[in-house]
Amino acid sequence: MKRLHYVLILFVVFIFSKCEKVIDVDVPSIEPKLIIDAAFEVNFDETPVTANTVVKLRLSADYFDTELPIVTNATVYVTNLNSNSVINFNDINLDGNYVPDVSFIPEDDIPYELTIIYNGETFKGEATKAKSTPFTNVVQGDETLFSGKETEVKVNFTDDANANNFYLFDFTNSLFLAIEDRFFNGSDYNFSFFYGEDDIELPTTVNIKMSGITEQYFTYFRVLIDQSGQNAGGPFETIPASLVGNMVNTTNPNEFPLGYFHISETDTFTLNLVEKD
């Protein structure tokens, strides 16, 4: 009886192994769209003030492609809409990253227009610098979550009571958090962020950023993170499903680009993380 039982098991395994079939999934190709990552950061809490003003241009790719094609042959410039002065951007290293020809630090309360001319089409978007507040303090905490192996970071800052504020936190390694001050407007605020054991390897140093953002960018970024995932190499490294930003194709409005033009005040805190017992 036992021998018959073993024979039946082997027979079932044999049948199922013979039923395996490789199925090729035919994913249709789509016309590449221009992807625009133009999130400018003004490091307002530094002396002197500096700014990260890089315009990154890529093309969308098919679902199973692992890399996005870079765009190196575009014309890129930013216009100060108050003075009509123009700052030209160039891709010096031919890596799809366009930098300004001259030092450019966006001013307060000034609307700027980003213009990109590519493949016979013109794309435009407008942004005004979103204000922020500096960190009060950032420290490593002792708490964990479910596995007991998470690393806690405790963030403290004081919210500005004179406006409805929205913030974007970048905890490095493509880990982001977007919050609004609906429930702590004008207050000292603190919260904890937890790195998973796969997010970082201790000991390490992280540069944590806090940026002021607009309500529109807050909504856009939260949807973008939901679509791309926290660990997908950055929100602009994977293709959102036709998520429309604030860049407009003025040549052909129906062929919209992907991405966003935004200017933030940003504060950065460098923290050394260590292993704890």
pLDDT at 10: 41
Q: What angle do CA 104, 157, 246 make, to 5 degrees?
A: 45
262-272 residue pLDDT tens: 999 999 999 99
> Is a pLDDT exceeding 60 seen at residue 168?
yes
Asked if 246 contacts 216 with a C-beta cutoff of 8 angstroms, the reply is yes
- Selected residue with higher pLDDT from 242 and 188: 188
Would you list the domain boundaries of the chain? 34-131+235-267
pLDDT at 125: 98
The structural architecture, per CATH, of the domain 34-131+235-267 is: Sandwich (2.60)
pLDDT band per the 50, 70, 90 thresholds, residue 3: very low
- Selected residue with higher pLDDT from 118 and 68: 118
For range 138-150, the mean pLDDT: 92
pLDDT band per the 50, 70, 90 thresholds, residue 61: confident
**DSSP one-letter code for 70:** B
Nearest one of 78, 118, 75 to 252, comparing CA atoms: 118
> Is a pLDDT exceeding 50 seen at residue 12?
no
- Selected residue with higher pLDDT from 17 and 245: 245
pLDDT band per the 50, 70, 90 thresholds, residue 227: confident
Task: Indicate if the alpha-carbon torsion angle 99, 104, 105, 108 is positive or negative.
Answer: negative
Please tell me whether residue 123 adopts helix, strand or coil conformation.
Answer: strand
pTM for the full predicted model: 0.84
pLDDT band per the 50, 70, 90 thresholds, residue 68: confident
Phi first, then psi, for residue 204 (nearest 5°) are -160, 165
For range 83-89, the mean pLDDT: 98
Q: Give the whole-angstrom CA distance, residue 39 versus residue 268.
A: 15
